[in-house]
Every structure is written in C-alpha cells, then in structure tokens.
Structure 1
Amino acid sequence: MNPRVIGAIAIGGVVALLLCLLAVPMMVFGGSSMLFSGGGAGGCVAGSSGTVSQPGVSSAAANSIPANYLTWYRKVGQQYGVPWTVLAGIGKVESDHGRTTLPGVTSGANAFGAAGPMQIGIEGAAGNQWSALATVEDGKPPASVYDPADAIAGAAKYLIAHGVQTNVQSAIFAYNHLDSYVTAVLGWASTYASGGFTVSATSPNSASSATSAACIGTGTLDSLITPNAAVATVINFAQAQLGKPYLWGGTGPDAFDCSGLVMMAYRAAGINIPRTSEDQWAQLPHVPAGNVEPGDLVFFAGADGTPTSPGHVGLVIGHDKMIEAYATGFPIRISTFGSPTSQPGLSQVVGFARPWAQPGLNLGNSARG
C-alpha cells in the first residue's frame, strides 16, 4: 500500500530463518492449525492479562501479540473471510502490533503518508487510501486509522479488494509492492498459524484497549481447528494451490478440476479417495450438516450432476467456506457455500463426506480423542 520497508528490513533475518522451515511456496500452516485457526486458544483473553501460553508457543517476546490486537485480528478475519494470521502478519511487519515508536503509528503519518498500526495511506506518496477503507469496527465513531479495530478492518477490506481469497501473495504484494514484504508477512503468518506466539498484555498505544476484554468473536474462530494432523496437511496442500487455473480432468500440479483438487489434497496426507465427485459422494462416509468439520468435502449438484450423483465438490475450511476449483476461467479460490448469496450452483448443498473417517484408516496419534 506504501513503499516504505522499515518493518520488512527489521525482521528480514528472522523471516529468512522461518522460510527455511516452509514446505510449500504459499502459506504453510504447520501443526494442526488451519487457515482460520485461532492457534488453539480457547475462551477469552482479557486486555489486562499477562502472558498466556498457547500450545507449542515460543516464549520470545518478539513472537507475542497484544491481547486486544489478537481479538480484532480474529474477529475481523472471521467477519471478512480473510485469514487472521495474514492480518496479524501485516500488523507485525508494519508496526509490531502498534508497539513501535516510529512516526505515524499513533499520530500523524510517516514520511510516505502512511498512518496507524496497519500503516494505511492517508496522504503523500502513499495516497489517501483510508478515505475508501474507513470503518467503525469497534462501534466508537468516528473511524480512526489509529484505532486498532478500525485499522485492521480497513486492511481486511483492502486485501479483499485485491483478491486475497484467490491469491494471497498477490493481495499482500498490492498492500506493499515489495517481494521482501510478502516474504516477511507470510513468514509471520506461518508462525502465528502454527501456534508460535504468546498473548501479551494490551498494547499501551491502543485506542480501543478496553474493548479487548469483551472477547468479541474469538469463540467461533478458536473452534476452527483441524481435527487431526492429516487434515492440516490436506488443507495446507489446497491452500498452496490457490490462484492456479481450473482444468477439467486436471490433477495438478499446475491446474485442477474440483474432484482432482480434493483427491490430490488427501493424497498429500496419504489418504486415497476416488477420482470423481460422483464416486467420492457414493463411496466416502457421509456426515450430517450439523457435524461438519474442516477437511470434510461438500457436494453440489453442479452443471453436470444431480443430488444423487453430484457433479461438484469443495474442501471445507470452516465457517461455511471452502477451497474449490470452480469452473473454467475461475482460479482455485476460497468461496462461501450454502448461502442465498453464494455464486451459482453453490447455494444448495447436497451433503458432506469425511474422507479420513473411511474404515481401516489409521491416523496414528494425530486423531483427536
């Protein structure tokens, strides 16, 4: 969104180390966390709390996220369908979640005209981006670029406008036109998604610190954890394909059709499923709509199918969202299903299936008890 690179340069060494651990070129969210995961934290984190350990977290201060920022990253991520870890990665690189003392974070603007904890342009070389993104997220008008809640919502809107649901890297590059910036943000996003952070006390520079104790919206996101490590691998594989083209009959690595994508995603986890959506629906264990979990397959009649032999399938990632290879001309993307506003063919769900529940599969210690 603006040309300065102070944050990216400052953490370049750390990011370089993190990238050595990545297994795919897109966002690799290790452990059992998924795209919208809350890192395993249950319940609320009050703004006045001290450090609260998460499963598998690092104790390094550099990896902490202030409680109020974590609350808003999660809430806004759920609200807009943007991975909260990407929002947190941007917040880390731009202002260390509002904790840096650099110009423009709590007042005024930096030398390029960017302001607030998410460093959104308000003037100068950065342009006045805020006028189109201003959002009263915390219910306390007027919208302020210096308010963490408002700024995080503005950043989410910017990422949505630049296609984050189909190409995460491209959207981050649009935010700041530097490859090193994209690398930095994805490095921190990967760390946060794998639970590599602690929750620190509310940021002293926050304009909405009192709101963090309300625990707004964290419960739903905290529940969006993959049921086992195999499903985490499946979702990681599918995420890595975002933005690739649809190809009828395609099974990768450069293009996929709907059933080819989910088949190869499960194959990446060592689980074999049928090739076509019709056979997947017919042969895999079904699950009721009320028991759907990340990693389940969601089926639709599709242009070439029927409710008894559905012609389209997607991979559920939580909160009525899925990763899918939709049709020719549409890149692999994240979509909303089962809603009257869903795109054609996606509003009526035929049903759900759970590949990892096939009889005879041994998931070892990765299965949830």
Structure 2
Amino acid sequence: MSAPPGLPPLRPGYRPFPGPRRESAIPWRLVIVVGGLMPLVLFASLILMTPLPSGLFGGGSRQSCTDTSISDADVSSTAREDIPPDYLELYKKFGQEVGVQWNVLAAIGKRETDHGRSTLPGVKSGTNYAGAAGPMQFLISTWGGKPKIKMTEKVNGYASDGNGDGYADVYEPADAILGAARMLKRNGAPDDLRRALFVYNRATWYVDQVLEIARRYSATGDIGAPPEADPFCQPGYLDAATDEVVKKILEYALAQRGKPYRWGGTGPDAFDCSGIVYMAYRHAGLTIPRTTFEQWPFGVRIEPGSERPGDLVFFNAGPGTSIDRPGHVGLVVAPGKMVEARCARCGPIKVTTYRDRPNLVGFTRPLENEYVLAQLKRSMT
C-alpha cells in the first residue's frame, strides 16, 4: 500500500483524493467491554455524605433549551473563505436537522471534492475509479442503486431529497449532504465520530484528515457537538423523569456525552462506567457505591420491562465478572436506552441501546435502597 497523501492546505483549487466507501468491506473486531472494574477493596462500605449542591460537578440546571442555531460566530474565517456560501448553508442546515457536526460534514465535502469544485470524474456525472459519485462521493450501491431515485420508490440506502423536489440525486449538493449527514448519524455520529468516518471511508488517515479539517473550520478549533448534546434539547429524556431527583441524575449523565472513557474516572474530563453513574447521583445530592461490583447488590432488583429512567442496567462483561458479579453498568434514560461509558476503545460516552446487547444481567433501582431513602428524607427536612 502506498503512503497516504498528506493533509492538504485549505485553499480554493485543492483537488482531493476521493476514496471508496465500502460499508461492509471490513468486519468489526470483537470489542471486549472492560466496564468500570475497580479493586473490590475500594469503597467497601457505604459512607453517607452530606448532600452536595447541584451543579458542583458540572451539568448544572438550566430552565430551558439553549439556542440551537448555528451562528456565524461558530464558523472560522478559514471556513468562510474556503466553503462556497451555498454549501456552507447546506452543511449547517443538515448538520442541525440530523444532529451531526456541521464542520465534520463540511470537512468530508472538502476532502472528497473540494465542495463540488473538483473536475475529476464522478463529481458532476458518472463515477470515479471506485464507483463513487457526487460532491460527497457516495458509492452508487450505498446511495440506493442508481444515481437519481424518485422518492416514491423503495430505497435501500442513504438516498435523500434535500431540496424537496421529490428526487434523491447523488449529484445534487443538498441531496448528497443530507445523505452524508444521515450516514454519519447511522454509524455513530455525533458521539463516535472516528467510527462514523471510518465507515464512510475505511482508512485511518482519512479519518485523521477529515477531523483536522473540521477543526480548522470551527471558530474554536474544536470538533464541537451538535445541539442534541445539550440534554435540555432532548426533552424526551428529561420529560420522562419521574421527579426532580431523577431529572438531575439524567441531566448530569447526558451532559457528559462526548467525553472519553477512562478506567477509574469520575470526571470532570473522563469517566468509567460506574464513575459516571456515581457522579450523576452525587449531582442529585445522593451517595451510592463507587464501583460496578458494589452498585449491583446496592439497588433494589427490578424486573426486565419495568425499568425506568434513573435505574441501572448491568452486564456480565469485563475481567473477573460473572452472571452473579456483573462488571459493566449503564444508566437508563428511556425505555431501551442508556448512557454508558463503555471502554477505552469503544468511543466516547454516549446514549446507546441495551435490549439487544448480549450478557445483560438485570436492572436495579438505587433510589429504593434504604440508605438513599434516608438521604432523600434528610434533604427534605
């Protein structure tokens, strides 16, 4: 294999090196879930602490969803100079609608076709050497089997109608950018961007280059997160909270999305699986055991199907675990959904599904433990 091309300068006239998208070409390796394993001797006994003021550990309460619009202040001067105005608006619009980072979409557009300015084969018509087409360089098979599809047809792919004309045209910028946003979302964005980009084009150097371009396009120099990373912009999760205590627990956990996993981490920059649960409860003024092994027997057992937001879901995963000693935990935020810090190689903290996960052991409700009930009673006096 030849060495990958270096990161290009961001200037008009740059001609990228489009590569194929083979979504099923390389099977994923088996990822071992390491969970939040900590030495059992740590925190062997529960110490009741004075309820902590909410907001002390981040994720503080706010009364309404923040403004979710993408302003000019979010766009760097490099982006404004390099991206055609019509493309910039499409990246912002569909990044907003789908819930992925606009600058990552723009970075793909730059890396693939210089925002449609490339004169290479496959950009305006036909396909390139790998069978990719359009400004976002979709494989025709990934798009839906043909370049232009009437939306009344059954579509098996990412074909999208971004301009509302009733057709999904891989060469139409609005359609292609919307399709790319949906593809990223389907494969892990906005939280696990490396995975989503690797599915888009299976090369680690490609992922690195796209993320670097995305940073240049951001006014802050960061990848950033779309509005959905703000838990108050996902009222479905918080509205499902049974009371203010549960709402505070969910509020904290959801606000940590996008941060990395770190064994033994309790924030504020990184967490392990039990660490984020522990700190979410502390945010609500409650103390529960620190480790997964201690959290499992602590809460009241809940029958599958009766779990609700704020409950914990456990898995027989990680070294030294068993069916009676689960080593991984997630925080239920909605039916079938949990916030979890899974493992160092599993991407950042995010909302995932648990019902289709292997090795699910069971559910517990820490809020019905007698010690937690005592803490709640004291907090109300």
TM-score, reference length from structure 2: 0.47
**Structure with the greater alpha carbon radius of gyration:** 2
TM-score, reference length from structure 1: 0.48
